Amino acid sequence: MTESFAFKDLEALMAEADELIQKINRDASMDAAEAHGRELEKQTRQLEQIKSELAVSKEAHPEKSSESTGSAEGMHEAIEDIVEAMKNLKNKIF
């Protein structure tokens, strides 16, 4: 009789442990989601700050922004030339 009583106690303890584990898992998931949300908000603020700083810099120095655009366009054209040269080389080899 003591064995069945101990077994019932063990079953109750196991059920209670399962409930606690489920609660811990739910709480941990909620904490992780909140932490992820906070990190996302932090990164968003950082990106907005960089964007704002760039806008201020562009307004303060419009001549530099046009120089940067020219450099970027030049790099883009150079990359296109390289791609075209690689295609031509490929056609000659194969």
Q: Could you tell me the pLDDT band of residue 18, with boundaries at 50, 70 and 90?
A: very high
**pLDDT at position 52 over 60:** yes
Domain residue limits, the chain: 1-60, 63-94
More confident residue, 64 or 62: 62
In contact, 65 and 58? CB cutoff 8 Å: yes
What pLDDT shows up at residue 17? 93
Residue 63 has pLDDT above 80, yes or no: no
- Model pTM score: 0.45
CA 47 to chain centre: 13
3 state SS of 94? coil
pLDDT for res 1: 44
| CA angle (81, 83, 88) in 5-degree steps | 95
What token pair was written down for 61? 């120095």
Predicted confidence at residue 3, as pLDDT, reads: 55
Which of 32, 30, 50 minimizes the C-alpha distance to 40? 32
